[in-house]
Amino acid sequence: MTNFAIEPGQKTKGMYWRTYERHIIVDIPENLLHGNVHAANKSNTNAACDVLDRASEKYPSILAYSGDAGYRGTAVKFTGEKLNLTLHISEKIKA
């Protein structure tokens, strides 16, 4: 998910904008367990590895993760090989 904040940075149509992305880990009742905000120029899959690693350290009872298609590839491989857990990627719903 991309968020925008007014800060010194890139000038766009007379305003200064810097783009950020956030990655959050929530449990089934949607309680926030861990999160991270970073500049948008870092890839989602690489940033997700940091968040997944820290959440697994803080909450060793986590058995698996779920994410959208933006976390395919590096994050799935990292979760399986380094954390010995599964990162389930949701399928796009066809209308």
What is the tens place of the pLDDT at every residue in 48-92? Answer: 899 999 999 999 999 999 988 888 889 899 999 999 999 999 887
**Is this model's pTM higher than 0.85 or not?**
no
Both tokens of 11, joined, read 């000038």
The residue ranges of every structural domain in the chain are: 2-89
What is the rounded average pLDDT of the residues 34-52? 83
- In angstroms and rounded to an integer, the radius of gyration of the C-alpha atoms of the chain is 15
Measured CA to CA, the distance from residue 81 to residue 70 in angstroms comes to 19
